[in-house]
Amino acid sequence: MNHSLLRRGSAVLIMLALALLAGAPVRADGDGAALYKSKCAVCHGADGKAATLAAKAMGSSDLTSPAAQKMTDAQLIEITTKGKNKMPGYEKSLSAAQIKEVVAYIRELGKKK
Ligand code: HEC
């Protein structure tokens, strides 16, 4: 094992660490359920029904309600992307593909009624 090899190895590790620190975007294939839990459950509740104290305080919508489920995917994507009143937009923190995954998960929650 010579020194230059060791040095190259640690350079790779440092680059990896930097990529992580820079907040490398969540995996593009991030699944909707995990995204929902990390980004949306705080305000809409794990089940989407916005039945938690925090959800009520925020005035979050019940995502499993007929009103929400009647919206088209395009409408749900639009609200998630751009936000609505107190609902934050996710244009900057999620990719279009991730927003689609999350909306697909909202459909799953709607079916669980
Ligand atoms: C900071 C709290 C908060 C977070 C986090 C949040 N929401 Fe919301 N959301 C709201 C509030 C409040 C509303 C109601 C907005 C209104 O109509 O005034 C709302 C409304 C919505 C609606 C519209 C439903 C309807 O019936 O009008 C959708 C869709 C939605 N949120 C999806 C999401 C998704 C997907 C995420 C995660 C990526 C998310 N929300 C994260 C607070 C939040």
Q: Which of 61, 72, 86, 101 to mutate to test the pocket of ligand 1 (most atoms within 8 A of CB)?
A: 61
Q: Is 50 in the pocket of ligand 1 (CB under 6 A)?
A: no
Q: What is the pLDDT of residue 69?
A: 97
CATH of 28-111, one of 3.40.50.720, 3.50.50.60, 1.10.3720.10, 1.10.760.10: 1.10.760.10
Chain segment 16-28, per-residue pLDDT in tens:
444 444 444 444 4
Going from N- to C-terminal start, the domains of the chain cover 28-111
- Of residues 13 and 78, which shows the higher confidence score? 78
- Show contacts of 59-63: CB within 8 Å, 24+ apart: 59/85, 59/86, 60/86, 60/87, 61/87, 63/106, 63/109, 63/110
Q: Is 39 in the pocket of ligand 1 (CB under 6 A)?
A: yes
Per-residue pLDDT at 31 exceeds 60: yes
pLDDT band of residue 6 (cuts 50, 70, 90) is: low
pLDDT (average), residues 45-70: 95
Q: CA distances (Å), 47 to each of 7, 9, 64, in order?
A: 49, 45, 8
pTM: 0.80
Q: What is the pLDDT of residue 57?
A: 93
Cα 20 to averaged position of ligand 1 atoms, centre (Å): 28
